């Protein structure tokens, strides 16, 4: 009987996910419902396959006082318009890079445009690349294989 459970576990863990082209990341902005820093709801967002094969999932947390803006997306999607992405893009969180040339020759009087990107006091980038949907929340994830093994052991005992 134990051999049957072992074969079942190895068969289930050997399934392909169908995401061989790239990693799947959550793509949303903090103004969307259920996409905030503390009220994230994964049922609202299915995620998208990132276009590059070596892409990373990114969660950008921007703070000014009590206001928090969260952006979740693929790194390749953010690189086209964000100039404050840190050079160190390894797994983990780090503060944004400072771009001193940003908005240097623009002298407009419209504050809402924020061409120098100095509205937020603190900007943090969190990178992840080893698990699908890893930019969803700060909670630790438990793999489905581990949960399956644990439930089978609980059933046997």
User: What pLDDT, in 10s, does the model give residues 9-67?
Assistant: 554 444 444 445 678 999 999 888 888 888 888 888 888 899 988 899 999 999 988 88
* Contact between 68 and 59 (Cβ < 8 Å): no
22-102+110-141: CATH, from 2.10.60.10, 3.40.50.460, 2.40.30.160, 3.40.50.970 = 2.10.60.10
Identify the CA nearest to 136 among candidates 19, 28, 56, 50.
28
Is-contact 84 117, C-beta < 8 A? yes
Q: For the chain, what are the domain ranges?
A: 22-102+110-141
pLDDT tens-digit readout, 134-154:
877 654 444 555 666 667 777
State the pLDDT at residue 39. Answer: 85
pLDDT at 38: 85
Looking at residue 4, its pLDDT comes to: 53
| Cβ partners under 8 Å of residue 49, min gap 6 | 19, 21, 22, 23, 24
């Amino acid at each position: 009987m134990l051999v049957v459970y072992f074969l079942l576990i190895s068969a289930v863990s050997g399934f392909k996910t169908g995401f061989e082209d790239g990693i799947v990341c959550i793509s949303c902005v903090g103004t969307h419902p259920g996409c905030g820093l503390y009220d994230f709801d994964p049922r609202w967002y299915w995620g998208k396959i990132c276009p590059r094969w070596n892409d990373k999932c990114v969660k950008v947390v921007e703070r000014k006082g009590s206001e928090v803006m969260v952006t979740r997306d693929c790194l390749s999607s953010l690189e086209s318009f964000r100039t404050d992405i840190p050079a160190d893009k390894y797994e983990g969180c780090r503060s944004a890079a400072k771009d001193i040339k940003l908005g240097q020759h623009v002298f407009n009087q419209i504050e809402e445009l924020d061409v120098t990107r100095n509205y937020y006091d603190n900007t943090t980038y969190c990178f992840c690349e080893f698990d699908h949907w890893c930019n969803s929340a700060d909670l630790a994830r438990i793999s489905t294989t581990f949960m399956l093994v644990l439930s089978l052991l609980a059933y046997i005992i």
